[in-house]
Structure formats: C-alpha cells, structure tokens
Amino acid sequence: MGLITFLGTGTSHGIPMIGCDCPVCVSSNPYNKRFRSSVLVETDSVRIVIDTPPEFRLQVLRAGIRSIDAVFITHSHADHIMGFDDLRLLSRSVEGGLPCYASSSTAADLRRAFQYVIRGASKGATVPNVRIIDMNGPITVCGETVIPIPVRHGTEEILGFRIGKMAYITDCSYIPESSYPLLDDLDVLVLNALRFRSHDNHFTVSQALDEVRRIRPNAAYFTHIAHEVDHDTVSADLPDNVHLAYDGLQVAFAEEGTR
C-alpha cells in the first residue's frame, strides 16, 4: 500500500484569508484551516513531497517528516514553490543532492527564482542541497515510477503526477484528451476543486465532479480549496466516494498496476 498525507489543502491565499471575516475564515472548525496545497507520498520504497508551499517548514514539522527521497513540483506559482529554501535540512545529508523534478519550464523558473541555490553556498551560508532535474517522461526514484500527467492551468501547461494507483492533480482547469489514459484504473484521484463560481485557471466543485465521473477512480479527494467552501456542509453533499481533503488527512492507496 501507499500512503498520501495532505500537508496543505488551501488555495493560493491559504485559509483563513488575510482580512476576511467570512464564516469559513472565522470558523473554529480545524477542517476549514488550510495551508497552501502540498502532499507527502510514501510507498514501501520511497518518500516524496509534491510542491513546497510557503508553509512548507510548518507542514514538515506538523507531519514529523525527517527525510525524503525526492521532490516533485507541479508548477512555479508562488503558492507551490515559496517554501523551497526549507529543503535545506531535508537535503543536507543526501549524497549528490536531493533530486527535484519538474517540467522544463518549471525547472527553468526554479533555477531563476532560486539562483543562489544554483550558484552554491557562499562562506557561512547554507543553501538547499538539491539537483533540479527536467522531467520529460516517467522517472524512477528508489524503485518507484512517477508518471508526469500534463494538464492545463489556464493558459499554462503544468504537471500532475501518478504513483501506483494514485494520481495527484492540482491547479487544473482542463485535462487534455491525451492525459486521460494516464488516469486509467486509479484507486485514489486527488484533484483541485476551488469553489462553486467559475474560474479561468481552476476546476470548480462541479467541474471536478464531472472529471471524477469520467475518470472513475475508486475514491477522489478534492484539494486547493477556497474560502467559499465550508468543509462540513460541502462534504455532506458530495457522492459517497468523493471527499474534501483537509490538512493532515492520510489516505492509503493501492500500488499494484503501476505502469
């Protein structure tokens, strides 16, 4: 079995939003408190993180993560990469550098945003001991295959990732026809569902439900959630096999059938 741990499930603002007095932002329900979106994925052979959001340090501490084998980055928006520097302690003892995989365009953005990492540490300073690697197809880390899933995020092409029978897709507004075969026979699908009103760059809850009906995973978990979505009321209306993810949630998934 594999295990996915949701380190964060919020949209780019995080929930609560700065300066907002709406019922969700002022709610005392812990399920309505959302760090920016990220997950830890563990199998028997590998432990990886997908995205390093601004709260990455707090997420790592909260989940008790002490080591990882690789990092995968979906795209270079701030809410997905701005905790990258906090890879310092997780990467320092990794021989040859902790591998960080991203599409070529995201990798180029990372190299630009974190130029000082590429240049290397100056005297007395520490920088993440990472290797930023362009991902142009499936790669194998510690015996586990990770398959990139190209999706659209507004006008940009970004990546989701499949490991075993689990796929993680965030910040998606459109799945190209050619990516559906990569989503066959899933045990767990994680998919973004921002809110109810339409948005150019993200699926709404109803669009995400349409995708779940087409992809037909055993179970689906929605993430990258905005403050319009109250966890308890919206959860009550979802189909039995569809759930709102929340920070700290852990979900097991089947590994057999990895291609």
> What is the C-alpha to C-alpha distance for residues 74 and 157, in angstroms, rounded to an integer?
10
Q: Does 51 bind Zn ion (CB under 5 A)?
A: no
Complex with Zn ion: residue 77 or 195, whichever CB lies closer: 77
Residues linked to residue 39 through DSSP beta bridges, in sequence order? 6, 50
Q: How far is the CB of 17 from Zn ion (least distance, A)?
A: 5
SS3 at position 37: coil
Residue selected from 77, 88, 195, 231 as contacting Zn ion according to rule CB under 5 A: 77
Q: Does 20 bind Zn ion (CB under 5 A)?
A: yes
Structural tokens at position 226: 């905005």
Using the contact rule CB under 5 A, the part of the chain among 41-49, 60-68, 73-81, 137-145 near Zn ion is 73-81
Residue selected from 42, 86, 144, 171 as contacting Zn ion according to rule CB under 5 A: 171
> What is the C-alpha to C-alpha distance for residues 248 and 250, in angstroms, rounded to an integer?
6
Q: Does 86 bind Zn ion (CB under 5 A)?
A: no
Question: Please, how many CA atoms are within 13 Å of residue 89, restricted to the half-sphere of its CB?
Answer: 8
Q: How far is the CB of 119 from Zn ion (least distance, A)?
A: 27
Those residues whose C-beta lies under 8 Å from the C-beta of residue 192, and which sit 6 or more positions away, are 37, 169, 170, 171, 172, 202, 203, 208, 222, 223, 224
Q: How many residues of this chain interact with Zn ion, rule: CB under 5 A?
A: 9
Residue selected from 33, 34, 47, 227 as contacting Zn ion according to rule CB under 5 A: 227
Site residues for Zn ion per CB under 5 A? 12, 17, 20, 22, 25, 77, 79, 171, 227
